[in-house]
Structure 1
Amino acid sequence: MASHIDDARAQVADLVKFDILSVNQAEKNEKQIREVARSFISDTLTVPTKEMYLYASQTSLGDDVYHEQSTLALEAHMAQLTGKEAALFMPSGTMSNQIALRSHLQQPPYSIVCDHRAHIYKYEAGGAAFHSGAQIIPVIPLNRHHLTLEDIQDEVVTGTNIHFAPTEIIEIENTLNGTIIPQEEVIRISDYAHSHGIKMHMDGARIWHVAAETGVPLSELCAPFDSVSLCFSKGLGAPIGSCLVGTKQLITKARWFRKLFGGGMRQTGILAGSAAYALTYNFPRLFTVHALARRLEQGLRDLGVEITSPAETCMVFFDASPIGVDYSEITERASQLPDPLQVGGSRLVVHVQTSEQAVDDFLALIRTLGEEKKAAGFVRPEGQAKVNGKPKNIYVRSVKKA
């Protein structure tokens, strides 16, 4: 009888076991690293280095629901760094944003005012409506770059008119599509919001780029806001994670919502360690990232390509139609190179693992395509790429936005 049970257990064990590593896994990983170095799709594609893994593997082994030591240390550092009372580690920027909104909002009806290109409006699956029952009021900035107080004043709902959902939160994304909103404008908006009892939230997924480019401390950039979400896997190159910062009261509520949303995690020390490594070793590399993005931008300009949004930080938006080339041609030919490049639409993202060779090869490809079009008889129409002196495609972008 015992032998029969042992055989049954062995059979169950055989069904359960699974080897996720392929025979050539190391080779595949090296290939992936090379592909990331030649991808302009997103900075979320960056991969952890061996040095990051080694550092992270030495972190504590606690359970985050029961207060994991390395994660608590990271949260304390993030609170101090941003000048806030407390912080909470999250699996993703979307969760961090949505829990921030839900923690601020108490009882409907209410509305959130944000840029019409904002991640919380376009790329979080309608989370504000689903999780918080909130109406989002998207605003198009008149300057075609960033929201101003005047833009927002026209859309904010105050008073007691029962036909409208009163505005409870103004949300700012910085950077937005790689562009920086001037800090003096942020302060103007914040002063106005707080004078009307309205909360300020920042989606600061790439706020690291603002600090790196301007030299303004994170605490100063975050000061006008009641809550800020900061991402470790965008720009900084950690494998996963974001942090929400704010008051102790807000973070206490957010921790509760994180559990409710299914975001209570277990052994997060290795994730916190990866984030800490990224803060220490990858943040200083953002200066180089911005310089490489500007070199990419200038190279495109020199080839006659229209820049629809310049490289203020890590992104360049472009329109190659002035030289007769469209995005589908670029994507197809880039994928056919001996050492392929990954591109998608109008957005080019430079990150900490982008190689200089990838930039050179992309510019060479655009040059080749332009020469082919010219040889085939293409002539650039006068004034094609601008309307009233402004780029016509400033909001054109790739389908995927992350």
Structure 2
Amino acid sequence: MDPKFEEIVKQVKVDLLTPTQEADNVKLAEQVSRSFISDTITVPTKEMYQYAMHASLGDDVYHDASTIALEAHIAQLAGKEAALFVTSGTMGNQISIRTHLQQPPYSVICDVRSHTNVYEAGGAAFFSGAYTITLTPSNGHHLTLKDIKPKVVSGSDIHSAPTRLITLENTLNGTIFPQSDILEISEYARANGILLHLDGARLWHAAAETRTPINELCAPFDSVSLCFSKGLGSPVGTCIVGSKAFIDKARWFRKMFGAGMRQTGILAGSVAYALTHNFPLLPGVHALARRLQEGLEELGVGILSPAETCMVFYDPSTIGVEYWEVVERAAAHPKPLTIPGSRLVVHIQTSPEAVEDLLSIFRVLKEEKVRAGWTPPEGIVEKVDGLKNVYVRASRPPA
């Protein structure tokens, strides 16, 4: 080998695997089983990888058989004409919004707590030039037509940005959006020429809990984003679904956004494994989340939003405890637990032992507070900013 090229080869070469990689992965999987941060942290299993490695080897920008088969399956599952595989839920939402909105000015209505509003870096404004109208549910749970109708901008007043799109989310912070209210909003939207998009990142949970088919849940919407890397435990991926014309345009935007992918067969294979083997696990996830809620309630911990699916929002002040105390005590456990704050997420790899250990920590903290003379104030109110499921992150006060 030419000496100069050999030197470059040495510079380029890299080995990402540690000498103890297999043991490290086992340790990481154990950490995931004891983390309540999110369901995005689930890790692929050996069985998932073994299935995925047999998928096709095509280039998705041109033709990849496994990815095309996945898109066809998801479109059929959702009752839509076509589907498009993208990298993430955020990309699925933002491409959908951009595809629906054609020429400014326009406005988009959404829940103030929604992922598109809070966790997508202002994407609707940046990518689509859209003005976002954020609404707070009057019932503290989900938006209704009563909330939306007065805020819709219509007419030809040049001072305003007409409402062209309503985006809903199901589930939102683990809560299920009643289908009856969705149908009422959809009927109004269609009658007024307004498009309807669903962030269905965790729609799988709604389907599992309500025993409602995916196509029925998707039927009222012009487009839906379905994520595979949250509740289903796939490493990467989301599909957006809609009409063929919508998906053709969305594919164009996907390329424009730099997200045209290449050998995606292994990702599609992972998704197929997750749909087949992990979706049936969701009822067990919901049961474990309810066990966590019930255990907290037995101890007197305030419940801000109950476990409708996989999330519990809690308030430890009802037993004299602050969030940072829970976080620190959980981290100091002989088998550490990871707690982010007010939101506790249970997922397909959460260990039942982790739930019981967490409840034990609350029990000990409560006993310590009582021994120190703490008594609950009268008429304590369980709320955070007036909403049942606002996510409060825990941080210790400065020393």
TM-score interval, normalised by the smaller of the two chains = over 0.9
Q: Percent identity?
A: 62
The residue correspondences of 1:225-244 to structure 2 (distance < 5 A) are: 225-244=221-240
Deviations 1:199-231 (A, max 9, x none): 000000000000000000000000000000000
1:112 corresponding residue in structure 2: 108
Tell me the alpha carbon deviations over residues 317-341 of structure 1, each in whole angstroms, 9 at most, x when there is no partner. Answer: 0001010001000001100001000
In the alignment, residue 135 of structure 2 is paired with which amino acid?
Answer: V
Matched, 1:83 2:79: yes
Deviation at 1:393, TM superposition (A): 5.9
SS of residue matched to 1:228? strand
Determine helix, strand or coil for the equivalent of 2:321.
Answer: coil
Amino acid in the other structure paired with 1:24? T
Report the equivalent of 2:250: 254
1:196 maps to a residue whose letter is: N
Cα shift at 1:383:
1.5
1:343 aligns with 2:339: yes
Conservation of the 8 A alpha-carbon contact between 1:307 and 1:391: no
Deviations 1:268-291 (A, max 9, x none): 000000000000000000000000
2:139 is equivalent to residue 140 of structure 1: no
Aligned to 1:160: 156
User: In the TM superposition, what is the alpha-carbon distance from 1:391 to its structure 2 partner?
Assistant: 9.7
Deviation string 1:340-368 (CA, Å, 9 cap, x unpaired) is 00001100000000000000000000000
Residue type of the partner of 1:27? Answer: A
Q: For residues 193 and 263 of structure 1, what CA distance do their matches in structure 2 show?
A: 31
C-alpha change, 1:393 and 1:328, in structure 2 (3 Å) is farther
Residue from 385, 388, 395 that aligns with 1:394? 388
What residue in structure 2 maps to residue 129 of structure 1?
A: 125
Paired with 2:150 and 2:106, the residues of 1 have a C-alpha distance of: 17
Question: Partners of 2:382 and 2:7 in 1: how far apart?
Answer: 69
Mapping 1:3-402, distance limit 5 Å: 6-386=2-382, 394-399=388-393
If the length of structure 2 is used for normalisation, what is the TM-score?
A: 0.97
Which residues of structure 2 form unaligned runs of 5+?
395-399
How many residue pairs are counted as aligned between the two chains?
394
Distance 1:208 1:220 in 2: 12
Instruction: Specify the SS of the correspondent of 1:138.
Output: strand
The question of whether the paired residues in 2 share the 8 Å contact of 1:385 and 1:392 is answered with: no
Aligned partners of 2:342 and 2:393 also within 8 Å: no
Instruction: Tell me the alpha carbon deviations over residues 59-86 of structure 1, each in whole angstroms, 9 at most, x when there is no partner.
Output: 0000000021000000000000000000
- CA offsets, 1:83-110, max 9 Å, x none? 0000000001101100000000010000
Contact 2:135 2:147 survives alignment (8 Å): yes
* Contact 1:385–1:391 (CA under 8 A) maintained in structure 2: no
Tell me the distance in 1 between the aligned counterparts of 2:343 and 2:148: 27
Taking only aligned residues, the RMSD between alpha carbons, in angstroms, comes to: 1.3
> Structure 1: which 5+ runs fail to align?
none
- Whichever residue aligns with residue 397 of structure 1, its letter is Y
In structure 2, distance between residues paired with 1:219 and 1:283: 16
